[in-house]
Copies of this chain bind each other. A is one copy, B any other.
């Protein structure tokens, strides 16, 4: 089998899926949720092969953990599919419409993209999330899940295709190119005209490669050097829980805090207490000179720290002169994902909201809220850090394009 056959299969499946009713698409998803529950044994068995292979190849503990499936996690996959069944179908939504003076009726409606590609790494849950979101939004999906999860993804795609077929949909509506190894990803990036949008999910390096090499339009996701600025007027008893929640609740994800900026007037009061709490939670602090005065077990921060997404229990802290200095630092180092200001000064809050150029800008809230689930979008495709098409958490709607339908009765242009 050649990759072109997969692309051709996707092209053939497109028309049927894009025109499928919500109930047929939901039927396929219900089949999938059931299939996952009924076949958890075979999924876990396939996963065991990948885990054994991973141990042999000496992959990291963190990667092995993300890869591993047990009964509970497989049930979690089924639950995620059922959640998507409950979400409204965006296809066919009328987003704009007008009748021109000459009688032409214009309607702008939401339509599926067509074929969505996803390149990701060793996370079997992404296979199910993307497949389910794609099916619900009427998009054919082509998956490249990486060699570490090869056997698991093969079994998951088998269940997905079976579920599609049982609902009367083309099983080629969801396919994988994993059999082609690295070539699969390369071919996907070249498949202009066959794949309408490519979504990379995973490490910053993976995302960068896809963004720079793809000939297919890409939505850039993830990559969060996330900042909190504690302003002079912040309520410190609220600040510490927000900072801790942003940093330690789930340090490995893109909306976790990476750099804390502290107004110099509150450094002496905040930092000693905060330092204790961070130490208690196992967080290593990289501090500027001023920070080191207040947090004794902090290590000196270098310029590299300001540009680092730790994705771990590490935090860079810098004491700054004022809001201007904080905005300057954020302007220089932010990856435009999420930043939050802790303040009771409303002009400062509004200035921060207006001037910080990120997907989500917050006042007095944990950065962990930038999340499709929290926003009520259900499972998410990813969090877009680019400005084109989608910005911030992407749900079903962000997997659609639009189309102008123009109904006339013989109009010509004068």
Residues of A within 8 A of B (CB): 15, 19, 98, 100, 104, 106, 108, 111, 113-114, 192, 196-197, 211-212, 215, 217-219, 235, 238, 241-242, 244-246, 249, 340, 349, 353-355, 357-366, 368-370, 374-376, 386-389, 391-392, 401-413
Query: Which residue in B355, B357, B359 is a CB contact (below 8 Å) of A114?
Result: B357
- A361 / chain B contacts, CB cutoff of 8 Å: 403-406
- A211 / chain B contacts, CB cutoff of 8 Å: 192, 215
Cα distance A375–B108 in the bound complex, in angstroms: 11
Cα distance A86–B298 in the bound complex, in angstroms: 57
Q: In this complex, what residue of B is CB-closest to A241? A: B412
Q: Is the CB of B359 within 8 A of A413?
A: no
Q: Is the CB of A413 within 8 A of B366?
A: yes
| A359 to B: closest C-beta gap in Å | 6
Q: Is the CB of B215 within 8 A of A363?
A: no
Q: Is the CB of B354 within 8 A of A104?
A: no
State the main secondary structure of chain A at its contact with B: mixed
| A349 to B: closest C-beta gap in Å | 8
- 6 closest A-B pairs (Cβ-Cβ)? A365-B408, A245-B412, A387-B401, A238-B410, A389-B389, A368-B413
Cα distance A49–B396 in the bound complex, in angstroms: 53
| A273 to B: closest C-beta gap in Å | 16
Q: Is the CB of B359 within 8 A of A403?
A: yes
Q: In this complex, what residue of B is CB-closest to A220? A: B217
How many copies of this chain are found per oligomer? 2
Q: Is the CB of B15 within 8 A of A388?
A: no
| A4 to B: closest C-beta gap in Å | 16
Known: A113-B387, A197-B388. A412 touches B360 (CB 8 A): no
Query: Which residue in B246, B375, B389, B392 is a CB contact (below 8 Å) of A388?
Result: B389
Q: Is the CB of B242 within 8 A of A387?
A: no
With A19-B355, A362-B406, A366-B413 given, name 5 new contacts (CB 8 A): A111-B357, A245-B412, A369-B408, A369-B413, A391-B404
Q: In this complex, what residue of B is CB-closest to A413? A: B368
| A114 to B: closest C-beta gap in Å | 7
| A414 to B: closest C-beta gap in Å | 9
Q: Is the CB of B391 within 8 A of A360?
A: no
Q: Is the CB of A401 within 8 A of B388?
A: yes
Q: Is the CB of A403 within 8 A of B391?
A: yes
Pick from A113, A196, A241, A410 the residue with the most CB of B within 10 Å.
Answer: A410
Q: Is the CB of A366 within 8 A of B404?
A: no
Q: Is the CB of B19 within 8 A of A363?
A: no
